Structure 1
């Protein structure tokens, strides 16, 4: 499970054996959330949340949106082009 980057002390992960659509797992502080990236233009959309407060989720979405192009590139590198 490659950690693609760290945001606000949280790990942003793309699993190599994961499924489409393009998405990331944000893990840290005893919590995890999954965001569908909505490549190539976003915005990232929350799919699952295990423990993050709404305010934290809003900050995470803003941070993911700021690096969306890079996240979509990493997804394609790991999983190949969209079909």
Structure 2
């Protein structure tokens, strides 16, 4: 599972054998959240949250929005065989 970005001590991960639509898993000590990216224009949308506070989810969404182009490129690169 490639880490494609970091937000502080959190890893933003794309699983190679995962399904569409393009999405990322944000994984940290306090939990995991899954955001659908809505490539190429966004905005990222929370699909699942396990342990992050509402405020933390808002911060994550802003951080992912700031690097959306990069995340979409990483998703395409990892899943280009589909």
CA positional deviation for 1:81: 7.9
1:78 — aligned with what? 78
How is 1:22-41 mapped onto 2 (pairs within 5 angstroms)?
Answer: 22-41=22-41
4+ aligned runs moved over 4 Å, structure 1: none
Unmatched runs of 5 consecutive residues or more in structure 1: none
The answer on 1:68 being equivalent to 2:68 is yes
RMSD between aligned alpha carbons?
1.3
The answer on 1:4 being equivalent to 2:4 is yes
What TM-score do the two structures reach when normalised by structure 1? Answer: 0.94
1:44 — aligned with what? 44
